[in-house]
Amino acid sequence: MKNAIHMLKSVTNIQMNSFIITTESGKVIAIDGGQRANAAYFLEYLRGLTGADVPHIDAWILTHPHDDHVDTFYEIIEHHADEVTFDKVYFNFPSELFLAKEDQSAVGTMREFYRDLPLFADKVCICSGGDRFDIGEAQFIVLYSHDFEIACNVANNASLVFRMELGGKSVMFTGDCGVEAGEKIVRLWKDSGLLKCDICQMAHHGQNGCDRPFYEEVSPDTCLWCTPDWLWNNDAGKGYNTHFWKTIVVRGWMDEIGAKTHYVMKDGTQVCEL
């Protein structure tokens, strides 16, 4: 295998996050996975990638409790547990009570998480801002985990945000990080040298996530967009850029910031070699 980021397509053309990272030494790292409908493709792709009938995942990172990020994980451990093995699950979710202040859909997702927790409790790794861990050659530092002082957009702003270094490249993964969490990350890490990255996963599928000052600090050459065609074009059926999503605005920011390469989920599964 090569050092690479595999951004998986959405089989339903709904926005979602699903990444598989591979390393030259054969390590496999999953990030989120998408809705339950994406689980079969996730497993099929993983088998093809590894050449194993029952592939192994060294670490599975869950960014936050929204169904378009974590439901593939639930589907696999509930109904396909004999089709994959994994060592560790990294996450840091807020409480159900905290989410209930604003986001009932995330409350339901959290209840599913607690229901399934006994199936993987021995693999749990709860990580917080400042934590570092390595998976083979891939080096991770967590820049942000949920903050109870941020009481708006609570589930998205609970996203784990982390930097990965692999193959001489640096990559920022943002989950669905919102403006407020992005601002805090900049305050905490601005002078650390860790915000500038070669590659950035665009927050919240490329719209209504982190604000421009965050991306100016990251200043990536390459952007990863977990974005289907309708969201990429801000088109809910009335034509290009006729809806309220902010994707076109964010695309403009990244052009002005100087990003040259864009991997977009609308074009199918994308492979970014490192």
pLDDT tens, residue by residue, 54-104: 999 999 999 999 999 999 999 999 999 999 999 999 999 999 999 998 888
**Amino acid, single-letter form, for residue 245:** W
DSSP 69-125: HHHHHHHHHHH-GGG-EEEEEEE-PPPHHHHHTT-HHHHHHHHHHHHHGGGTGGGEE
User: CB count, 10 Å around CB of 132?
Assistant: 11
pLDDT at 212: 98
pLDDT at 101: 84
Give the residue from 149, 150, 130, 127 showing the smallest Cα distance to 141: 130
User: CB count, 10 Å around CB of 39?
Assistant: 24
Domains of the chain and any CATH numbers: 4-268 (3.60.15.10)
pLDDT at 226: 98
Mean per-residue pLDDT over the chain, rounded: 97
pLDDT tens, residue by residue, 107-121: 999 999 999 999 999
Residues of the chain under the 70 pLDDT cut: none
